[in-house]
Structure formats: structure tokens, C-alpha cells
A and B are shown apart, each in its own frame.
Chain A
Amino acid sequence: MMGIHQITIYSNIVAIMLVLGVIVLALRFRIKDELEKKIFIILPVVLILMAALYIVSAYRDAEVLKVSAMGATLIETGLEYFINLFAIQWFLYVDYRMFHSVLHIKRNGLFFVTGFAILMLLDTINIFTGILFEFLDGVHYVETPLYVVTDLLRLVYFFGSIFALMYYRRKDERMKFFHVRSFFIPLAFYVLLIYLTPLNTVSLGLAIGITLIFVQMVNEQCYQDAETGFYNGLYLDYLKGRIKTDDYALESVILFKFSKGDMAKSAELITKQLPEECQTVRLSGDTVVTLTHVKDRSPLYMVSEDVQMSLEEVGIPVDVSIELKKKKESGSEFLDRILRKA
């Protein structure tokens, strides 16, 4: 068997091993949003199936596996299905990661799926007609101009998702731990290799990308307090840097001081009352501070009333105080003042 086919096989085996590791770790990994974890895990599962078919097609290309023209077409069609399935799952994962909204996925599912559903339909028709590609025998592969167009459609989807992600990342604090370049850089590298060399190592690029996404999920947890799920001192240091450079507009805080009670339970109740814009940090064992962009007292009063009421209902006493940044105070000076008070 010649070298390039071996490289394809080995790279796909490495990809499978890599994502198997991700699956095992992800299943054991605790994450707040279990649905996000489930959607994410489907990615490496689909990738394993795709990589397995790449291995089979490499053996076919090397003529180690003898198949008929129909057999070769079916293998290639299976591969196309899994590429499309992976792409659909990627968009679903990213959409859910951005918006945490099942309704949004339902409302826009047609948009995500239509292009790839059309491709899958064409792939199916291709089995009987050769409109996209065909095998003259079990080995020699011929792609038609229509196949080039369908490939371009995939690229359009992918580039579109890059721009969408970059746009939402600027707007949404929740996306700060999701560096989409971690996924696209290895993928882009390996896609380029397909066009510049005979090598087909796309699976390895996707596997590296998936692994890096998982690493980011784990990394996000480093900034979280294990008991409460709030951010920890490490995150506060990160935020101080952003406040100093005016990248984060800190305008007000709500300070919670507990004298006793179940911190995990308190955290759960506080989180339910806080809008998503708030960043809540556990400063010490019994002190939690919520940082906000709000310049007005009334929403802060609303939140503090709701928190106090819900904690009192379960017998957890808490002192709540509100502070607004003074007009001539910088964000950093304000935060320092609050930390001294806390």
C-alpha cells in the first residue's frame, strides 16, 4: 500500500483515538447545561463514523479492498452523508452554545438543515445517476462540475458560521470562552492540504478542533467556584484587566454576605434571580459580589429584593447591599472600593 493512503489511514486512526478520549472525558465532565453536553458529544461520535469510512475508502483507493463501482459509490456516499451530518450537528451545537434556546433551533432548524438536506438528497440520487461523482471501476473516481458547486455550498455555510460567531462573540459575554478559531484553524489547515496535496486528513483537523473546544469547556470551569458555580478569584483577576482597559463597563454591584447556610443552595437561588448580563464572583467563603453594567438603582433593588425573599423562604439569612459607581470614579477605582468594603 502506498504512503499517502497509509497517512490517510493513520491520521484517521489518530482522529478516532483523540475524539474517543474526548467522549470519555466529556461523559465524566460536570457541566451546568446538560443539554449542551449532549449536543456536543454527538460531534465526536459522528466524527468517528466519518473517520472509519475514510479508513475504508483509503483501503479502497489503495486497492487493498476490492469493491465494485457501486460499492465504491456507496462508501463515498456514506462519507458524504457523515460530512453533512457533522456540519449540521456543528451548527446546532454552535447555535445552542450561543443562545441556549431550543425554540431558536426549532425556528431556524429549516435554515440550517435545508442546504445539507439538499446535498444528501443529491448524494442519494447520485448512487443511481452519477450526477455528482462516479467510479469508473471500483477505484478511479470522477467528480462532475455539480460536485464542485456542492462543495462550494459547504464552504459558504462554514464561512457564514464563522462571521455569525464572530459577530455574536462581540455582543455576548457568554461567548468569551468560545474561541471559534480553535476549531476553524486546524480544520482550515487540513482542508487546504486536500487541495494542495493528495492527502485527506480532514478528520484529524476536525478531531483537533473538537478537542480544543472541549479544552475550552474545561478551561471555563477553572474560572468557576466548585461549590457554587459562580466565578472565582481567578476570573476576578481576568475581569480586573478588562475593567482597567475599559473593555468591561462596571457600573454597579450587588454584595451578598452570608452568615450561615448552604452556599450551593444559595447560589442556585441567586442565579435564578439574576439576568444573564450579571457576572457573579465568590470573593470568600461567605461573600459573593454581582457585577453589572446597570447605572440605575431600581433594577438592582428588584434583584436584591427577589434574592432576599427566595433565600428567606429557605431559612438562609443574607445581607444585601447595592453600590453604584460614582461619576468621577473609574471602573478600577470602583472595584477596588468594593473589594475593600467586602
Chain B
Amino acid sequence: MHQPIRAFIEEQFLIEFGDDFPEDTDLFRAGVMDSFGYVRLCRFLEQTYQFKFAEEEMTSNILVSLTRMEQFVDHKVSRGRAASG
């Protein structure tokens, strides 16, 4: 489920997650995330997992690390399933 996110970040930002670069690394502080890259990442998540970000959700640092993104996507997808079920 999460593999596409990891692959997208690794390809977009030319990094490899692992012991040297853990999944909970703050991508801004590590100098990996740039402004346009952030916007593209948002678009990618919306398209891949079929949801829309709400502006208010964006003020809780949900996209600063791979770990946070995965947690947020899980939450969004499960809420979407519950709503449709």
C-alpha cells in the first residue's frame, strides 16, 4: 500500500530510505523537500489514493516525513472506505 509513496519520494528527491536515512526523517529539515516538490507530492498522493486534501489538514505537518504521510494516507483511505461502506 505504501510502496508507491516511498518510490515517488526516492525518485523525486534522489534519496534512498534506509539506516542512513530513516523513514521518520523530516524531509524539510534534511534539505530534501523543495517547494515545487511538495506540491507535486500532494498531487501524487491525491491521485494515487483518490482523496482530496483539505486546507485545514495541511496545518498539522502531515507531509514532513514518510512515516507521517503513510499514517495520514491510512487514515484518509480508511475514512473513505467507511464513508462509502
Q: Are A and B physically bound partners?
A: no
Residues of B within 8 A of A (CB): none
Residues of A within 8 A of B (CB): none
